[in-house]
Amino acid sequence: MTGLGWLQIALTLGLVVALVKPLGTYLHRVLEREEPPLGGGVGALERLLYRLSGVQTTEQTWLQYTAALLGFNLVSCLALYLLLRVQHLLPLDPAETAQVSAHLAFNTAVSFTTNTNWQSYAGESTLGYVPQMLGLTVQNFVSAATGVGVALALARGLTRRESKTVGNFWRDLVRTTLYVLLPIALVLALALVATGVPQNLADFDHATTLECAEQVLAQGPVASQEAIKELGTNGGGFFNVNSSHPYENPTPLSNLLEVLAILVIPGALTYTFGLMAGDTRQGWTLLGAFLALMLAGLITCYWAEGSFHGGLGNLEGKETRFGISGSVLFATATTATSCGAVNSMHESFTPLGGMVPLVNILLGEVVFGGVGAGLYATLIYAILAVFIAGLMVGRTPEYLGNKIEAREVKLATLYVLVFPVLILVPAAVAVLHPDMIATVWQKPGPHGLTEVLYACTSAAGNNGSAFAGLTANTDLWNCTLGLGMLFGRFAMIVPCLAIAGALAGKKRVPSNAGTFPTHGLLFGALLTGVIVIVGALTFFPVLSLGPVLEHLQRPRVTYYDAGR
């Protein structure tokens, strides 16, 4: 650990916090006003899209909103599946890739539709340019916009007064894509090109190494996909090694830009929520909980990686152009959100250092979380927090003037319980199934269990990062993880929208002397405590058999011992 490393971490988080208010204000203007937020050609384009698609932009009930969301994502998934199955017939394919198998196409289509972007393949050798651009990049935009829509619907349910509607899915989808993701991604892509990220449709280059061997240098439309994969917390890499590849992430500046892109929209949405609630302190409290949890992970991970080898640090699996601090910051940010992009190999981290990215995902997308997903997951935990506070003082819990009653608590509990089931059951099956455990690099010990647990967690948590060491491109793993991603996304979105519908129709209760305040340090501490306790009670047993046990079994080798 170094002072420069801490300065890098502090600078990055400081920039994120500085951008929260201006971007959050812009998001509120874009997504909560009836009229188009920008006039001229952009507003006309929005109206043209509605007219061409034939959708209605009138307000929807939560059931109508859910039906539109599920229908759109079903069509998107099927279209991407078909595109992958016929990619060998498409142009712009310098690698002359083969047809994607049915199981891998299913896994990939579900992965990118659910904002997971788990990849059981090497992108540069498996997919041509057309599937990368028309399939994966498009899904990076609309899957992120879907998450924002769900967050807005839940926020409207909490902040509206006796309303039967929670917004309109089509308007949320179009406006998030057109006014937020596209312009920011365009600027970010140009900035990445300036740092050295390729953006072309050229054939692959062939070079001769010093050993007189031929090396194929893949390239293509990298910057455009890189920008939205980080901004939309998607994470699917153009290259197999993702953002550790010098064409995806060539310099410390590109590394900083990518980390900022990962964190900025999830952070800004908390301020947007505060504006919707009429009290920005509500949003700052949620952001404070995000930062507290992320700082705990950063400190633990940096300590575990930086204190190894007598203080020289563990550089295995890390790019020297980023160092330990840049790698730790990226690993923590990408798993604190649902991004899943990596600039280092998490499998090469120390046991406790590698546990931090795993725990970030296990907490359920509440440490910043994905674009939209982080806000709606945190609001679910906020509902549980006020319910627990109400039990403590013996009065009906309230959140933003809404009485939290049995229906909302049951739906919130369902949301919380679905997640561990989707992780622990497939992980248990995998370690008992001979064909699945045979694909694990270190199957006999706790490290092998961590590899399996991380894969199942990454799928159900819609993160998409890989611990490495697991050969996931088999029929069993592709189907198992694909189903985990599917249910991990939509089996948790539906309860959120049901809660939004239940709350939107309630009468608001005016606050009084007995109302528990849901802003400030006290509620932030309660919310953080509920998140940590629920996660600890659920997952500590399996963590103790994986990374914790591996740490305890690790030989105590110091820098001086290794030098003898």
Indicate if the pLDDT at residue 235 is higher than 60.
yes
Indicate if the pLDDT at residue 36 is higher than 80.
no
Indicate if the pLDDT at residue 562 is higher than 70.
no
Distance in angstroms (rounded) separating the CA atoms of residues 552 and 539: 18
Overall average pLDDT of the 197-212 stretch: 89
Least confident of 36-45, 215-224, 357-366, 553-562: 553-562
| Percent of the residues in the chain that have a pLDDT greater than 90, as a whole number | 66
Overall average pLDDT of the 317-346 stretch: 91
Taking all residues of the chain, what is their mean pLDDT, rounded to a whole number?
90
Distance in angstroms (rounded) separating the CA atoms of residues 181 and 536: 35
Q: Residue 344 in 3-state DSSP?
A: strand
Overall average pLDDT of the 522-538 stretch: 91
Q: Which residues contact 215 (CB under 8 A, 6 or more apart)?
A: 206, 207, 208, 209
Distance in angstroms (rounded) separating the CA atoms of residues 225 and 419: 29
Indicate if the pLDDT at residue 272 is higher than 90.
yes
Identify which of 435, 417, 457 has the alpha carbon closest to the alpha carbon of residue 546.
457
Overall average pLDDT of the 194-216 stretch: 89
What is the predicted pLDDT for the residue at 442? Answer: 62
> How does pLDDT run across 466-507, given as a tens digit for each residue?
887 788 889 999 999 999 999 999 999 999 999 999 999 888
> How does pLDDT run across 313-322, given as a tens digit for each residue?
888 888 888 9
Distance in angstroms (rounded) separating the CA atoms of residues 440 and 419: 23
Indicate if the pLDDT at residue 561 is higher than 80.
no
Indicate if the pLDDT at residue 559 is higher than 50.
no
Q: How confident is the model at residue 43 (pLDDT cuts 50, 70, 90)?
A: confident
* Residue in the structure block whose two tokens are 């140009």: 190
To the nearest 5 percent, what fractions of the chain are helix, strand and coil? 65, 5, 30
Q: How confident is the model at residue 531 (pLDDT cuts 50, 70, 90)?
A: very high
> In this structure, are strands 398-399 and 214-217 parallel, antiparallel, or unpaired?
unpaired
8 Å CB contact between 326 and 281: no
| Domain range summary for the chain, segments of one domain joined by + | 375-556
Distance in angstroms (rounded) separating the CA atoms of residues 272 and 291: 17
Distance in angstroms (rounded) separating the CA atoms of residues 134 and 496: 30
What is the predicted pLDDT for the residue at 560? Answer: 41
Overall average pLDDT of the 12-27 stretch: 96
Distance in angstroms (rounded) separating the CA atoms of residues 125 and 473: 14
What is the predicted pLDDT for the residue at 540? Answer: 92
What is the predicted pLDDT for the residue at 122? Answer: 85
